[in-house]
Chain A
């Protein structure tokens, strides 16, 4: 019996999985344009703020929040598609054959998502700063820098949490259309319902900060958090992010890949 001698191969390092997964987020036309659209939309919103905002509103916070809206929408979608494509496009049949420990692939995708979120935020801040300088110059007023480093850090954290929500939904649903629908329900329907409920019911108004994740992350955009707000962020994050993510991860590892 002849046996072909193979060079002994080492375990695939985590760093290689992560960088390959990062590449996979950008190497399709849809992936590339999703990421590119964040930059494009940031410039467009900046332009619109310069054109339409009142002079006294031309502050750094105005620019950053305007850019933050489209960016916080698009970031989670990148994370969602990164996970769900393995099932919806069925590329998982190859990916999980090359890396049979699925949690390593998923961890690679998680780190890659975090990297993109952490890179996107400073880019947004820079575009906002450019807009602030240009806008105030055009308007002939002095630029107002009304965001502290602490503000920028909590905004970055808000972006990161949004990205993780997308990642969680991708892992939990494992289908691109399904996860995108779930995302829009999560992002728009639930906060609206919470808003209505809080307006109608006193008991919920008191409870809301402790059960509404969107409410808690919204505080991150406003400014430094009190210790109570941090606690609320932790509690709501546990309910709406950590627990469903744990369930999703368990399903991913066990589910059949077809």
Chain B
């Protein structure tokens, strides 16, 4: 289990991570979603103690990461597959991890096999690796200590479609065996397939979190109207959250029935009204992150 409580990190005036609170549960894959620069990587570095938070605290399995006696045995970490000494062979990088963790030497072969790196590939130096091979090697480094928690930053980058499917299967099995997986991505579709829970972050702040099924259900309805401002006010008065889409549409956090009645009561002609399923989460992701980006612009920037 990974728990973050009001974690913030500022660099001068810039707030990279702003009071982030969430929990990644055992037995579940938690997708950590956000556009590039939203604060995902900083948050993950804070969890593993590479960056000190300005405020708040993060724990893994109930303890601060730095207090874990042999972290590699409990938490598998892959933050950047390219962050390796280019002059080492893949096998040597795993051997170093094996020695730090005090594992039997045979674990290196086992884990190479598990991530699908051939003996020939593992004898090559990392500078000659493709990004996909680096991701496999990074995943091998994360898995070698047989941890119960995985923290992976953009692990699907550079993997081919077969590789992505393979990794999803691996993460699914890991969670089904009771493990905790925290997996970041800036691509919704990448995590939508495998994640049980989602945490969406934009400009350092969490904009949505919960079970994927709940978020999908609450993705609501899409309504097009000739008089959007009037409908928006009516929905607002009814306390229904919504966001603007395109020139004449609203994305409403309510079902079509409720939206239809509100529009009728407000006397607004409706051009189109449908459940926002399917593309809903994508829409929500774009909207939520776009909204926070707008919110942080100076007053009058949109005028």
Instruction: Write the residues of chain A forming the contact surface with B, with a CB cutoff of 8 angstroms.
Output: 1-4, 6-7, 9-12, 16-17, 19-20, 23-24, 27-31, 85, 89-101, 254, 256-258
Contact = CB atoms under 8 A, between A and B. Distances in A.
Interface of B: 25-27, 45, 48-52, 65-66, 68-74, 77, 79-80, 82-88, 92-93, 96-97, 99-102, 125, 141, 146-148, 177-179
Nearest to A27: B92
Contacts of A99: 71, 100
B191 to A, nearest CB: 22
A19 B146 CA distance: 23
B99 A23 contact: yes
Given A9-B73, A258-B45, 10 more contacts: A11-B69, A89-B85, A90-B80, A93-B50, A94-B97, A97-B50, A100-B48, A100-B49, A256-B50, A258-B50
Contacts of B69: 9-12
A258 B82 CA distance: 12
B65 A90 contact: no
A28 B126 CA distance: 11
A27 B69 CA distance: 26
B70 A9 contact: yes
Given A100-B48, A257-B51, A27 B83 contact: no
Contacts of B82: 90
B236 to A, nearest CB: 40
A19 B102 CA distance: 12
Given A28-B85, A91-B84, A97-B79, A4 B148 contact: yes
Contact of B102 (A3, A12, A95, A257): A12
Contacts of B68: 100
B72 A98 contact: yes
Given A9-B69, A27-B88, A3 B99 contact: no
Contact of B26 (A1, A10, A89, A100): A1
Contacts of A95: 100
